[in-house]
Amino acid sequence: MRVLSVVGNRPQFIKSAPLSVALKACAAEVTLHTGQHYDRELSAIFFEELGLDPPAYQLDGGSGSHAEQTARMLPGIEQAVLVGRPDWVLVYGDTNSTLAGALAAAKVGVPVAHVEAGLRSFDRAMPEELNRMLVDRLSGLLFCPTDAAVENLRAEGITDGVHQVGDVMYDANLRLAPLARERSSTLADVGVEPGSYLLLTLHRESNVRPATLAALADGLNRLEEPVVFPAHPRTRAALAENSVELGDHISVLPPVGYLDFAALASQARLVLTDSGGVQKEAYWYGVPCVTLRTTTEWGETVALGWNRLAGADPDELVAAVAEVRVPAEHPPLYGDGKASERIADILCGRIAPS
């Protein structure tokens, strides 16, 4: 069996790593990198640390609007599909790479398998929400990370090909997180002690618009604890272009690889983020999270008290950081670390598709 895996950003590299291992027993997998994340610290270093084979296809889909990105990716993905004639095109998550991969495959009649299907923030102003909804309708196999994702699909009338398998990112976390503390020197390099700092990630397009970025900076500058901030290139550029200054207690770093990030996240007192994947990572590490959005596709983390939605309101941000505590309950929401094996079994026919 032949599989073409379409990836383009940090979370997708992480999700694909354990599944690539599981597929080796039954499939010939080829990877296409759309170039959505093109900085080395957001791309190549992840292939190295995660043990991924270099991509067979490398596109240049990085910059531009959502339409420009997606349009630039489509011809290259279509060509890879036509040349390789895979049995399945595998797409991950909710990015423009996900949408382009699903569209290109569906247009030429190759079935699509969507890893992380069924997630909903119920906020159609988010480009990712539209991508999720469209890709789920193009997919023949829908691999859901949670029961809530299955229910979301059922509510939309999608039941064929739906499987609750658990979260492949959790598979990667279980395998690689223990290595992070052993190998990473990032805390020492930054000069912080475990539990003494906040970790910040900020990259979403809606949060780097001038007024929103200024509001977030206002809240962040009022915090008293040290903040470690591996800055996305887009965010760093927006800070400079809009003359937004951050306080001396905020250590702005270049983007970091998976192991360094895992070391920082697992030993922070609290995580501040606008990333969907990082909300989950914080939960797995038992670290409270403040999400710099007003909606989330990971509502179960909010319901359990591990995650608080602060949006971009500086007063709410400051209050959330002061008030968030470690909840008593920490159930295993995202499976048992065997999601990748289940997906491989279904793709390779060892388990019959539903």
Same domain, 19 and 147: yes
Asked if the structure places residue 134 within a domain, the reply is: yes
Same domain, 20 and 159: yes
Same domain, 130 and 189: no
Q: In what order do the strands lie in the sheet with 270-273?
A: 250-253, 227-230, 198-200, 270-273, 289-291, 307-309
* Strand boundaries in 196-327, DSSP class E: 198-200, 227-230, 250-253, 270-273, 289-291, 307-309
Same domain, 141 and 228: no
pTM of the model: 0.94
At 42 the pLDDT is 59
Asked if the structure places residue 159 within a domain, the reply is: yes
Asked if the structure places residue 245 within a domain, the reply is: yes
Same domain, 204 and 285: yes
Asked if the structure places residue 216 within a domain, the reply is: yes
> Given 33, 163, 203, 232, which residue is catalytic?
203
Q: What tokens does 284 get? A: 């797995």
- Number of structural domains in the chain: 2
Same domain, 98 and 206: no
Angle, alpha carbons 350-351-354 (nearest 5°): 145
Asked if the structure places residue 174 within a domain, the reply is: no
Same domain, 286 and 343: no
Same domain, 183 and 271: yes
Q: Show Cβ contacts of residue 276 under 8 Å, excluding neighbours closer than 6 positions.
A: 11, 93, 94, 119, 128, 296, 297, 298
Asked if the structure places residue 105 within a domain, the reply is: yes
Same domain, 123 and 258: no
At 183 the pLDDT is 84
Label residue 61 left, alpha or beta by phi (over 0 means left) and psi (-120 to 50 means alpha).
alpha
Asked if the structure places residue 257 within a domain, the reply is: yes
At 44 the pLDDT is 75
Establish whether 203 is a catalytic residue. Answer: yes
At 47 the pLDDT is 82
Q: Which helix (H) or strand (E) holds 20?
A: helix 10-23
Same domain, 13 and 134: yes
pLDDT 10s digit of each residue in the chain, 354 long?
Answer: 999 999 999 899 999 999 999 999 999 999 999 998 666 555 677 788 888 889 999 998 777 899 999 999 999 999 999 999 999 999 999 999 999 999 999 999 999 999 999 999 999 999 999 999 999 999 999 999 999 999 999 999 999 999 999 999 999 999 988 888 888 899 999 999 999 999 999 999 999 999 999 999 999 999 999 999 999 998 999 999 999 999 999 999 999 988 999 999 999 999 999 999 999 999 999 999 999 999 999 999 999 999 999 999 999 999 999 999 999 999 999 999 999 999 999 999 876 665
Give me the phi and psi of 258, to 5 degrees please.
-65, -45
CATH number for the domain that contains residue 299: 3.40.50.2000
Domain that holds residue 77: 2-167+335-347
Asked if the structure places residue 354 within a domain, the reply is: no
Same domain, 235 and 188: yes
DSSP code per residue over 47-74: HHHHTPPPPSEE----SS-HHHHHHHHH
- DSSP code of residue 132: H
At 277 the pLDDT is 94
At 178 the pLDDT is 87
Q: What tokens does 110 get? A: 């190759």
Same domain, 16 and 159: yes
